[in-house]
Amino acid sequence: MAEFPKGIKNLINAFERLPGIGPKGATRLAFYLLNTPKAYVEDLASCLIKMKTEIKICKSCFSVSEQDICSICQDNRRNKAQICVVERAIDVMAIENMGDYKGVYHVLGGVINPLEHVGPDELKIDELVQRVKIMLTDEKYLNCNLEIILATNPTMEGEATALHIKKRLEGLKIKISRIGSGLPIGADLEYADQATLCRALDGRRDI
């Protein structure tokens, strides 16, 4: 069988590593770029490099940011005593697009998944516990009711992760809630429509 020149083959291999892209899709993308003006390819390459060098992880909530502390954490109008715990930064965007959540976030960086060798230590769980403990000793929050909203996806891994975090926070003087059943089992926050997401957040229950 004839083989593609190495330059194309390497690009196909690189595309195949992307989530949701199989060999056919990777080949199609490579040939699309081959036949597209050079300026576009240069622009694409520079966007990729820029993203990797300029985007930081917020030191407070671990969401994506252009600065050390993200714009949400820096915003004084946000309720810092309400922390919504999500799997990924993309979930922050989904909840932000809903428009009526006024608290802040904590991005775990995934969920506990033994099959994929992701344990609690691979996630920002220690950081969350630390964050809450520091807040509890901060007189700024003395008269606030601290609330942690566990908004991991309603999948098996998401539920297990929420339960694990709940246990880790046990005994601390805070309210812990779990997003409501508005979301279908196995759903992904990222793909939920805004009305469903609103219902899920409004319908959160104490756990």
User: What does the binding site for Zn ion look like in residue numbers (CB under 5 A)?
Assistant: 58, 60-61, 70, 73
Q: How far is the CB of 87 from Zn ion (least distance, A)?
A: 15
Instruction: Name the residue nearer to Zn ion (CB basis): 30 or 151.
Output: 151
Q: How far is the CB of 55 from Zn ion (least distance, A)?
A: 13
Q: How far is the CB of 66 from Zn ion (least distance, A)?
A: 11
Cβ neighbours, 10 Å, residue 49: 10
Q: How far is the CB of 177 from Zn ion (least distance, A)?
A: 20
Instruction: Name the residue nearer to Zn ion (CB basis): 26 or 92.
Output: 92
Beta-sheet pairing, 64-65 with 56-57: antiparallel
Tokens for 85, please give them: 């715990």
Contact between residue 87 and residue 158 where contact means Cβ atoms under 8 Å apart:
yes
Q: How far is the CB of 104 from Zn ion (least distance, A)?
A: 7
Instruction: Name the residue nearer to Zn ion (CB basis): 11 or 125.
Output: 125
Tokens for 145, please give them: 């009711």
Instruction: Name the residue nearer to Zn ion (CB basis): 43 or 66.
Output: 66
Buried b / exposed e over 135-167, threshold 16 CB at 10 Å, is beeeeebeeeebbbbbbbbbbebbbebbebbee
Edge-to-edge strands of the sheet including 79-86? 103-107, 79-86, 147-150, 175-178, 205-206
Q: How far is the CB of 106 from Zn ion (least distance, A)?
A: 9
105 beta partners: 84
Instruction: Name the residue nearer to Zn ion (CB basis): 64 or 98.
Output: 64
Instruction: Name the residue nearer to Zn ion (CB basis): 42 or 68.
Output: 68
Mapped onto helix, strand or coil, the DSSP state of residue 200 is helix
Distance CA 92, CA 106 (A): 9
Distance CA 195, CA 18 (A): 30
